[in-house]
């Protein structure tokens, strides 16, 4: 059998499960600019892209949801269903808000970079502790107004599934936050 020789990043990713290091070829030229590939990390399949952040939806609306789900690209199936129902009740859709999962290894966990890239005016932290983004402490189901954006800190959907009281507290404050 002959040796397989290629510099196609996608082919190498499909054929190999190990970490690869280049020996001189430029992987940035191996992919078209608009191509999205996936990588596996901790049993979760994450999207990747050539942009600074990998996200879902539309960042131009100014509404950003930040979460940290290591097991899923964005939400667990149950959490995604709850998320869609929640924002739909306020006349929003997943397509017209931005959703970023900080568990994706490509996404920087730096608040300054998040603000520069997304330029949000309303940020909801879904189970992400403000301290992890070097923000001041914000109690759950409350928000902090900044110069540019207001940050709403709340529980993850899994925490709300486990405690109905957390869900009720979230809904009351979230409606006020989004409609203000």
Residues 96, 165: one domain? yes
In a domain, 24, yes or no: yes
10: nearest Cα among 34, 36, 33, 40: 36
Task: State residue 51's pLDDT score.
Answer: 73
Considering only CA atoms, give the Rg of the chain: 19
In a domain, 1, yes or no: no
Residues 170, 104: one domain? yes
In a domain, 90, yes or no: yes
pTM for this model (two decimals): 0.73
Which H helix or E strand runs over 57?
A: strand 55-57
123 is in which domain, residue-wise? 55-179
Which residue would you say has higher pLDDT here, 146 or 46? 146
Residues 72, 115: one domain? yes
CA distance 121 to 116: 12
Residues 135, 172: one domain? yes
pLDDT (tens digit per residue) in 109-138: 999 999 999 999 999 999 999 999 999 999
Contact status, residue 115 vs residue 135, Cβ threshold 8 Å: no
In a domain, 3, yes or no: no
Residues 165, 131: one domain? yes
Task: State residue 33's pLDDT score.
Answer: 47
Residues 117, 159: one domain? yes
Q: Which two tokens stand for residue 159?
A: 């925490």
In a domain, 2, yes or no: no
153: nearest Cα among 85, 41, 68, 93: 68
Residues 128, 102: one domain? yes
Residues 41, 59: one domain? no
Instruction: Report, as an integer, the average pLDDT of 141-145.
Output: 95
Residues 169, 87: one domain? yes
pLDDT (tens digit per residue) in 22-51: 444 444 444 444 444 444 444 455 555 667
Q: What is the domain count for the chain?
A: 2
CATH number, domain of 81, equals 3.40.470.10
């Amino acid at each position: 059998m002959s040796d397989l020789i290629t510099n196609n990043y996608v082919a190498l990713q499909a054929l190999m499960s190990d970490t690869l290091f280049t020996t001189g070829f430029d992987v940035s030229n191996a992919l078209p600019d608009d191509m999205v590939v996936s990588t596996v990390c901790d049993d979760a399949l994450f999207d990747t892209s050539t942009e600074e952040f990998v996200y879902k939806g539309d960042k131009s609306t100014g509404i950003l949801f930040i979460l940290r789900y290591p097991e899923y690209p964005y939400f667990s199936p149950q959490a995604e269903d709850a998320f869609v129902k929640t924002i739909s009740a306020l006349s929003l859709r997943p397509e017209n808000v931005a959703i970023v999962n900080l568990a994706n290894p490509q996404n920087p966990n730096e608040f300054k970079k998040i603000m520069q890239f997304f330029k949000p005016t309303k940020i909801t932290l879904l189970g992400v502790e403000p301290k992890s983004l070097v923000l001041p402490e914000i109690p759950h189901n409350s928000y902090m107004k900044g110069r540019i954006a207001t940050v709403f800190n709340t529980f993850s959907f899994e925490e709300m599934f486990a405690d109905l009281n957390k869900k009720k507290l979230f809904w009351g404050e979230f409606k006020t936050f989004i409609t203000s």
